[in-house]
Homo-oligomer: A and B are copies of this chain.
Amino acid sequence: MKTEWNEECAVVGVYNAQNAASIAYYSLFAMQHRGQEASGIATSNGEKIITIKKNGLVTEVFCDETLNKLKGFSAVGHNRYSTAGNDSIADAQPLFARYDLGEIAIVHNGNLTNARQIRDELIKEGAIFQSYMDTENLIHLIARAKQENLIDRIKEAVLRLKGAFCFVILSRKKMFVIRDRYGFRPLSLGEIVNSDGSKGYVVASETCAFDLVGAKYLRDVEPGEMLIFSKNGMESQSIMLPNPHPCVFEYIYFARPDSRVFGRLVYDIRKNMGEELARENPVEADLVIPVPDSGVAAALGYSRQSGIPFELGIIRNHYVGRTFIEPTQQIRELKVKLKLNPIRELIENKRVVVIDDSVVRGTTSRQIVKILRDCGAKEIHMKISSPPTISPCYYGVDTPSREDLISAKMSHQEVCQFIGADSLSFLSVEGLKRSIGVENYQYCQACFDGKYIV
C-alpha cells in the first residue's frame, strides 16, 4: 500500500552564497525533470525566513521581482513531482513554520514508510496537520523533541523516521542536511566560490545542478550523515548507522544522463545496460532505435555491442505542454503521437529493435509498437534496459500499485502479446548489476525483486 505523497522530487540547499536565491533558482531549473508540478524557494538573511512557492515550472513561478524578494545568504528549494487530488498549493514546498526555537523551512525528497504512523501518533498528541506532506511530520517532531538545541532536536526527530529521505532544513542562521541511512535517493555536495573569494556550499539531488551554477562537486552526502552549515563552516556527523541501498531506478530512468549519481555517471551506466541487453538478448535486426529521450544511451550501447546500426527512428516533439485540446476521432492514438513521431522511411520493411527504459502498465509500450507497426516495420523487438517491474516502490518513486504493474500479473509471453511486439526482452537482474559494475553491489532493487530493506 502506498502511504503518502512524496514522490520523486528535487531538493537544493545553498549556504553562504552572495545570491543564494539565484543559485537555488538555477539549480532547480537544471533539475526540472524531477518535478514540474510546483516549485518553491525559502531564503534566510539571518533574521527572517521568506518563502515563495507556487504551482508551475521554475521559470513560471519566479521572475526577477519575486526572486529579488528572496534576500539572504542561505536558501532551500524544491521541485514537486505531482500533487494528488487537491487544488490548493498547500502541498508545495518548502514548508515553513514558526516553533519554539524560531523559524524553520524544510524541503524533502523521499517517502517515509512510517509517515502515517507518526502522524497518527502526533495527532493523538494534539498536533494539527495542514498539508498532506511527510515533511510536516519532521517539523512537528523537531518542535516536540526534548533536546535543547536544534542539532540535537533534528537528530532525535530523524531517528524516528523510516523510509527514504533527503532533508534540507533552513533555520535563520544555519542549514542542516540529512540523508537516510540507506541512501535511497541521491544527494550531492558541491562548493561555490563567491566573487569576494569566500566559499559557499550547495547540496542538490543531482550534480547537473552544480554544472549550471558553476559549483565544484565535492562528494555525495553519505547515507546516515548529517551536515551542519554555520558561520563556522561545514561540519559532518554520522547520525545513523549507514546501510547503503541506493535506488537503482535513478540510473534507469530518473536522473539526467549528465548527472553523477551515487558516484557514477548515469550516461555510462545506461550505455552499459544497452550493451548487457545486447549480450543477453541478441537478435537479428536492421536497426536499433531508442524511445526518446530516456532510451537513447541504452540504445547506443545496444548498437555498439550488437553491431546493428543506431538510428533516431522516433522523433520527439518538445513543445508538449500541459493543456491540450481533446483529440477528435480523426486523430487516433494521439496521446503518444503528440510526443513521438516515428520516421516511416527508416522503419518500413525493417526489422527494428526498440529500446525503452522500463515497462510499467504496458499501455505506452503497446502504443509505441502500434505506431511502428503502422509505419510498416517488418519485425519489432522491444528490448527493455531494466528487469520487469513487479513491485511498487515505497521509497519515493511514484509507481502504480502492484495490480497495475503488467509484469506482476501477466507472464512474459502475455506481456509480449499485450504490447503486440514480435519479441520482448528485459535486462536480467544480473545484467543490471554488471551494468553498474560495482563490487559489493547493494542497490535497492525492490521494484524488480520485491525485497524491501525497510
> Does A90 belong to the interface (CB within 8 Å)?
yes
Chain B residues with Cβ under 8 A from A25's Cβ?
A: 325
> Does A241 belong to the interface (CB within 8 Å)?
no
For the complex formed, measure the closest distance between the CB of A115 and the CB atoms of chain B, giving whole angstroms: 13
**Contact indicator B64/A29 (Cβ below 8 Å):** no
Chain B residues with Cβ under 8 A from A129's Cβ?
A: 97-99
Q: How far is the CA of A82 from the CA of B43 in the complex (A)?
A: 23
**Contact indicator A331/B214 (Cβ below 8 Å):** yes
Given contacts A63-B323, A257-B312, contact A331 B18 (CB under 8 A): no
Q: Give which listed residue, B63, B128, B208, B329, contacts A99 with CB less than 8 A.
A: B128
Q: How far is the CA of A391 from the CA of B89 in the complex (A)?
A: 39
Q: How far is the CA of A63 from the CA of B321 in the complex (A)?
A: 12
Given contacts A67-B325, A211-B341, A312-B297, contact A143 B130 (CB under 8 A): no
Q: Give which listed residue, B62, B95, B328, B345, contacts A130 with CB less than 8 A.
A: B95
Q: How far is the CA of A159 from the CA of B59 in the complex (A)?
A: 48
> Does A381 belong to the interface (CB within 8 Å)?
no
**Contact indicator A87/B69 (Cβ below 8 Å):** yes
- Give chain A interface residues in 95-149, CB to chain B under 8 Å: 95-100, 123-124, 126-130, 139-140, 143-144
> Does A440 belong to the interface (CB within 8 Å)?
no
Chain B residues with Cβ under 8 A from A17's Cβ?
A: 330
* This chain's copy number in the assembly: 4
Q: Give which listed residue, B23, B50, B53, contacts A330 with CB less than 8 A.
A: B23
Q: How far is the CA of A144 from the CA of B87 in the complex (A)?
A: 28
Chain B, residue nearest A58 (CB): B319
> Does A60 belong to the interface (CB within 8 Å)?
yes
Chain B residues with Cβ under 8 A from A311's Cβ?
A: 300
**Contact indicator A300/B312 (Cβ below 8 Å):** yes
> Does A268 belong to the interface (CB within 8 Å)?
yes
> Does A244 belong to the interface (CB within 8 Å)?
no
Q: Which of A17, A128, A344 has the most CB of B within 10 A?
A: A128
Chain B residues with Cβ under 8 A from A57's Cβ?
A: 319, 321
> Does A212 belong to the interface (CB within 8 Å)?
yes
**Contact indicator B52/A330 (Cβ below 8 Å):** no
Chain B, residue nearest A131 (CB): B130
> Does A429 belong to the interface (CB within 8 Å)?
no
Given contacts A53-B88, A64-B325, contact A312 B267 (CB under 8 A): yes
Chain B residues with Cβ under 8 A from A36's Cβ?
A: 319
Q: Scoring A residues 30 to 42 as 1 if CB is less than 8 Å from chain B, else 0, what string do you get? A: 1011001000000
Chain B residues with Cβ under 8 A from A315's Cβ?
A: 208, 256-258
Chain B residues with Cβ under 8 A from A213's Cβ?
A: 330-331
- Give chain A interface residues in 2-43, CB to chain B under 8 Å: 17-19, 22-23, 25-26, 29-30, 32-33, 36
Q: Scoring A residues 63 to 76 as 1 if CB is less than 8 Å from chain B, else 0, what string do you get? A: 11011010000000
Q: How far is the CA of A342 from the CA of B327 in the complex (A)?
A: 38
Q: How far is the CA of A203 from the CA of B325 in the complex (A)?
A: 21
Chain B residues with Cβ under 8 A from A32's Cβ?
A: 317, 319
**Contact indicator A128/B260 (Cβ below 8 Å):** no
**Contact indicator B99/A317 (Cβ below 8 Å):** no
Chain B residues with Cβ under 8 A from A33's Cβ?
A: 319
**Contact indicator B300/A97 (Cβ below 8 Å):** no
Chain B residues with Cβ under 8 A from A308's Cβ?
A: none
Q: How far is the CA of A258 from the CA of B296 in the complex (A)?
A: 17
Given contacts A214-B331, A258-B315, contact A98 B346 (CB under 8 A): no
Chain B, residue nearest A267 (CB): B343
Q: How far is the CA of A341 from the CA of B327 in the complex (A)?
A: 35
Q: How far is the CA of A195 from the CA of B330 in the complex (A)?
A: 7
> Does A194 belong to the interface (CB within 8 Å)?
yes
Chain B residues with Cβ under 8 A from A256's Cβ?
A: 315, 341
**Contact indicator A88/B51 (Cβ below 8 Å):** yes
What are 18 A-B pairs at a CB distance below 8 A? A18-B328, A18-B330, A26-B327, A26-B331, A32-B319, A51-B90, A59-B324, A60-B321, A88-B96, A96-B130, A97-B129, A99-B123, A128-B139, A128-B140, A192-B330, A212-B334, A265-B346, A318-B318
Known: A95-B130, A212-B338, A256-B341. 5 other contacts (CB 8 A): A17-B330, A22-B330, A25-B325, A32-B317, A212-B341
